Structures are given as structure tokens and as C-alpha cells.
């Protein structure tokens, strides 16, 4: 009764906390903390551990005895026995002489370990997905800000063109061409706002919070302290630990099914007595199931097949982890090279391109097409930079998760 009351009180305390949304502004560390400690989605995964512990309690229990009582009345004397009344009481106790209880307890313990391992793996995967979603949110915010800045600059250029038109140095075509360019970039800014709302909703849904529209804080940059080793750490990878513990649990369940095939054995003791006249006798006996129909063979075959399936899942998990490490290592290497090239060759030239294009147009040395082309090139380059940085940061994060040391890297 006390454990149930304690669990009920804890649930009452936890529900308001889970119902609350986190703060509107969060950084990468805050998102990863929410994913690992406060997400309702992870709280749901934690219930699997409680289910496994309940199965452990069931497995450790001994079978209950059965008590039976019979009372009979003789309508006439000397029919079956001399007494006018007869009573009988007996008790039957099943005996687990094949070690079924020990096998059940071991299987339940392995189930708890597997449930805990899968909880850790789910937390690791959720944190990685949340981190990637946060990077995508930052990229969407930066993209929207860049497009809004482009609108501001186009307004500035329109004032320049309008002034030149009033002085007779620009044609109506120049103004019309700029208006069309403004409309095009305005459409892209509206689309970027919709994309930003979608990224916010995705992060909120991923973590399990309703009516939460987070704003990402922090600068969109490549991650630091990324391990570029060529292999993962199978001994510490949560997914591989979970797969191996699942295989161990399946093996323990096969042992349970094997021991359950032993025939049921029960010990029976009782007392029989009559009245008018009185007589009594004690009985003791044993009953054994006759396994002529093989009713438990299917359960054993199923457990054996599940053990083999768990072994295959473990093998596939190991192969996937190694493939992910190689995949994201290659991505990080290639995108890092592209990022370094951008910083060295492109980024320093963008401010000069802006000034040179404006000066040339003011002096009549270039047309409106060339001015708009230079402006468009600068902002398209900045948008490409955002995609490059977000792709690199996500690949770095996925690499750490694939290596199996994601939690220690976060800490």
C-alpha cells in the first residue's frame, strides 16, 4: 500500500512539471538538458523500467497453494460408508522442482537491465535529434534575418535609384527592375518565416512540449571538441549496450521456456472425517502432469526464435554504428574543408563587393542589372554559408552520437 501511495504522490507532483513549457529562449545546452532530463517523451520511456520491475516482482513470487473443502450428507445409512455425514479438507502446493523460479527471476533481472539500457539509448538518441533540430532552428532564424536584411538593403538601393531617376540619370526601367527584385525577395522572406515556424514546432514536438515556440539563442558555428577518430566506442555506445542486454534477456527467456517444459508437480495433503459415527483419516499425495500433448513446445520455439532475432538485431546495430561513424566522419571532413575555404576565400571579399557595386552604379559605370546581381550574389552566398555551417554542425553532432561518447562530450 505504501509504495503505491508514494508512486501516486510522485505522479501528482510530476504532472504539473511535465505540463509546463520550458522558457521561450533556449541555447544548445538548455535544449540538450531538456531532452535528457525534462522531456515528457523520455518520461514515457522511463515507464518501461517500471514495467520491468513489476515483472521482476511477479517472477520472484512463489506459486500460491490451493485449499479445497467438501461436505457431504448421506440420505440413508450404509450407502457408501457408515457415517451419516462426511467432510474433507485438502491443500495443494505446486512445487517448482525444475528451477523455474530462479530462471524467471534471472530473466526478469535481465529485462530490467535491458529496459534501463534502452532508456539510456533513447535519451542519447533524443538528445542528438534535439541538438540537430536546434541547429536547424538557429539556421532558420539566421536565414530569416538575412532575408530581412536583404529587404532593408533593397529599400536603400531603391532610394538611390529613385534619386538618380529624379535627376535624370536613371530610367523607369531601373526602378521597375528594382521593384521586381524586392517582390522576389519579399516572397522568400515570407517563406523563411513559415520555415522558422515549422522548425520551432518540430523541436517542440520532438521534446514533447505543447504550445511551445522556442527561440534559439547563441551563434550558429561549428561545434568544438569534436573527436575525429575513425572508429566508435562499442563498449560505451548506448545502442549497442541496449542491443546486447536485449539479447541476454532473450537468452534468459529461452532458459525459462526450457524449464517450463518440465511437467507440473504438486504436493497434496488432506484430512477426511465422518460423523454419526465418527471416523477420520489423513491423506498425502503427489500429482504430476502427464505431458503427452506438448503444450509448452510452442512457447520454447518462440523464445528460441526471439533469441535469434535479438542476436540479429545486435549484429545490425553494431554494423549501423560503424557505418554511421564512417559516414559522419567523411561528412565532417568534407564540410570542414568547404567551411575553411569559404572563410579564407569568400567571406573577406563580400563587404568590398557591396561597396564597389554601389560606387560603380552611382558613378554611372555599371547598370542596375549589375548592381542587383552583386547584391543578390552577396546574400545568396550568405544563405549558402548558413547551410554549410548548419550542415557541418549537425554532422559533427551526429558523429559524436554515433561514436557512443555523446553524453561525456556534452558534459
Which residue ranges make up each domain of the chain?
30-61+96-261+296-410
- Laid out side by side, the sheet with 85-95 consists of 66-73, 85-95, 265-275, 279-288
CA distances from 263 to 285, 288, 297, 378 (A): 16, 7, 12, 81
pLDDT score, position 277: 77
Cell numbers linked to 44: 514515457
Q: Is residue 260 a contact partner of residue 294, using CB atoms and an 8 Å limit?
A: no
Whether the predicted pLDDT of 235 surpasses 90: no
pLDDT tens, position by position, 312-338: 999 999 999 989 988 999 999 999 999
Closest by CA to 216, choosing from 237, 191, 199, 236, is 199
Lowest mean pLDDT among 80-94, 104-118, 240-254: 80-94
- Nearest CA to 195 out of 137, 130, 146, 131 is that of 137
Give dist(CA 230, CA 237) in Å, integer: 15
Locate 167 and state its grid cell: 535627376
Check pLDDT > 90 for residue 67.
Answer: yes
Higher local confidence (pLDDT), 151 or 355? 151
Please say whether the beta carbons of 290 and 263 come within 8 A: yes
The whole-angstrom separation of Cα 145 and Cα 147 is 5
Q: What is the mean pLDDT of residues 104-126?
A: 92
Residue 83's nearest CA partner among 272, 260, 347, 338 is 272
d(CA 371, CA 379): 13
What CATH number belongs to 30-61+96-261+296-410? 1.20.1600.10
Number of C-alpha atoms within 13 angstroms, CB side, residue 225? 6
Contact between 15 and 44 (Cβ < 8 Å)? no
Going by C-alpha positions, the residue among 18, 226, 19, 28 that lies closest to residue 133 is 28
pTM above 0.75, yes or no: yes
Position 138 pLDDT exceeds 90: yes
Residue 358 has pLDDT above 70, yes or no: no
The pLDDT of residue 411 is: 61
Amino acid at each position: 500500500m505504501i509504495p503505491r501511495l508514494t508512486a501516486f504522490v510522485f505522479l501528482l507532483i510530476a504532472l504539473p512539471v511535465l505540463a509546463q513549457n520550458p522558457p521561450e529562449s533556449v541555447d544548445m545546452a538548455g535544449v540538450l538538458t531538456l531532452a535528457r532530463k525534462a522531456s515528457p517523451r523520455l518520461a514515457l520511456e522511463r515507464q518501461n523500467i517500471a514495467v520491468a520491475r513489476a515483472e521482476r516482482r511477479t517472477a520472484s513470487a512463489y506459486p500460491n497453494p490451493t485449499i479445497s473443502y467438501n461436505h457431504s450428507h448421506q440420505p440413508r445409512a450404509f450407502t457408501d460408508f457408515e457415517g451419516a455425514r462426511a467432510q474433507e479438507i485438502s491443500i495443494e502446493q505446486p512445487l517448482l522442482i525444475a528451477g523455474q523460479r530462479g530462471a524467471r527471476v534471472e530473466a526478469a533481472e535481465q529485462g530490467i537491465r535491458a529496459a534501463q539500457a534502452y532508456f539510456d539509448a533513447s535519451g542519447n538518441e533524443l538528445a542528438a535529434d534535439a541538438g540537430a533540430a536546434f541547429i536547424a532552428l538557429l539556421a532558420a532564424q539566421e536565414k530569416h534575418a538575412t532575408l530581412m536584411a536583404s529587404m532593408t538593403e533593397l529599400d536603400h538601393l531603391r532610394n538611390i535609384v529613385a534619386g538618380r531617376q529624379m535627376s535624370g540619370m536613371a530610367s523607369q526601367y531601373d526602378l521597375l527592375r528594382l521593384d521586381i527584385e524586392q517582390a522576389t525577395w519579399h516572397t522568400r522572406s515570407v517563406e523563411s518565416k513559415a520555415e522558422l515556424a515549422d522548425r520551432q514546432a518540430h523541436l517542440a514536438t520532438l521534446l514533447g512540449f505543447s504550445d511551445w515556440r522556442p527561440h534559439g539563442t547563441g551563434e550558429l558555428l561549428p561545434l568544438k571538441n569534436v573527436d575525429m577518430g575513425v572508429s566508435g566506442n562499442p563498449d560505451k555506445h548506448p545502442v549497442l549496450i541496449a542491443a546486447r542486454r536485449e539479447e541476454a534477456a532473450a537468452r534468459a527467456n529461452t532458459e525459462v521456456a526450457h524449464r517450463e517444459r518440465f511437467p507440473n508437480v504438486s504436493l497434496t495433503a488432506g484430512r477426511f472425517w465422518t460423523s454419526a459415527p465418527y471416523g477420520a483419516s489423513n491423506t498425502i499425495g503427489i500429482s504430476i502432469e502427464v505431458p503427452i500433448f506438448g503444450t509448452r513446445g510452442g512457447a520454447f520455439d518462440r523464445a528460441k526464435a526471439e533469441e535469434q532475432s535479438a542476436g540479429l538485431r545486435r549484429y545490425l546495430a553494431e554494423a549501423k554504428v560503424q557505418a554511421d561513424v564512417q559516414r559522419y566522419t567523411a561528412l565532417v571532413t568534407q564540410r570542414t574543408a568547404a567551411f575553411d575555404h569559404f572563410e579564407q576565400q569568400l567571406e573577406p571579399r563580400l563587404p568590398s563587393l557591396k561597396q564597389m557595386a554601389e560606387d560603380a552604379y552611382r558613378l554611372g559605370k555599371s547598370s542596375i542589372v549589375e548592381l542587383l546581381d552583386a547584391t543578390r550574389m552577396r546574400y545568396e552566398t550568405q544563405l549558402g554559408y548558413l547551410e554549410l555551417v548548419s550542415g557541418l554542425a549537425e554532422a559533427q553532432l551526429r558523429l559524436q552520437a554515433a561514436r557512443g561518447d555523446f553524453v561525456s562530450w556534452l558534459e
